[in-house]
Amino acid sequence: MDYLQTLVADPAAWVALVTLIVMEVVLGIDNLIFISILTNKLPEEQRARARRLGIGAALIMRLALLGTIAFIVRLTEPVFTVFDHGFSWRDLILIAGGLFLVWKATKEIHHSMDPAPGPDLFEPQTAGLTVAAAIGQILVLDLVFSIDSIITAVGMTEHIPIMVVAVLVTVAVMLFAATPLANFIQANPTIVMLALGFLLLIGTTLIGEGFGAHIPKGYIYAAMAFSAMVEGLNMLSRRARKRPPGA
């Protein structure tokens, strides 16, 4: 109790909490885009439930990972070397997650551009997406982002309660924003292609970081924000052309 009281009274702890929440929410945008595109492939009556279950399961997993924070921090230690470059478990997880995102985005782009889809080029004998499969894919990607964000958070604060509060606030924001974002993407087909492009960009970034290339996140999110702004202007332009003269 004394520890928590001291933490609450410490201005530096509040600064760390606010900074960590902002970072987690920004990083959560990647997850939300993926969740929105994925769950929109389900029957309409199952989408909201799949989002709640997926995000809820991701919360449980993140809190469990915080309990193993000492182990996660050690994931940055090299386990083998290739051409004088050491690869850690974190690097391998980032590469695997990046490849998964690139594969998933490429698969969805293929489906979007094929006007008469035949046998699936990527999954020849796959049936329709199920809620369980959607939740499984959400957890796979959230595991990658969670490990990366926890390692980043350790550099910002050593207090586990601050990390727990940041995770709880971030997941609450995701639960609130998931359905409106998914509905917006569903109602605007051109946004789907833009969002898939974002996933390709994020996946490529994860692969690059796994191979040791430091890519400032600010550049990535600035590019995404600029692209979203341009698409927003295109949407306003299309709506203006559809309005009758004098309306």
Query: How many Cβ atoms from other residues are within 10 Å of residue 159's Cβ?
Result: 19
Q: What is the pTM of this model?
A: 0.70
Residue 121: pLDDT band (50, 70, 90) is very low
Contact 211, 95 (CB under 8 A): yes
What is the average pLDDT value for the chain, to the nearest integer? Answer: 77
> Whole-angstrom Cα distance, residue 195 to residue 108?
11
pLDDT at 66: 78
d(CA 157, CA 150): 10
Percent of the chain with pLDDT over 90: 0
Of 69, 221, 87, nearest to 147 by C-alpha is 69
Least confident among 82-91, 122-131, 183-192, 215-224: 122-131
Work out the burial of residue 7: count CB atoms within 10 Å of its CB; fewer than 13 is exposed, 13-18 middle, 19 or more buried: middle
Q: Which two tokens stand for residue 107?
A: 């698969």
Residue 115 pLDDT: 55
Q: In whole angstroms, what is the distance from residue 156 CA to residue 151 CA?
A: 9
Q: Which two tokens stand for residue 201?
A: 């960009």
Q: What is the mean pLDDT of residues 14-33?
A: 76
Higher pLDDT, 68 or 73: 68
Query: What is the C-alpha R_g of the chain?
Result: 20
* Residue 156 pLDDT: 66
- Cβ-based neighbours of 77, under 8 Å, separated by 6 or more: 88
| Domain edges within the chain | 2-242
- In angstroms, the CA 40 to CA 69 distance is 34
In 3D space, the residue among 139, 211, 167 whose CA is nearest the CA of residue 21 turns out to be 167
Q: What is the mean pLDDT of residues 34-59?
A: 85
Residue with more model confidence, 2 or 219: 219
Instruction: Give the pLDDT score at 140.
Output: 83
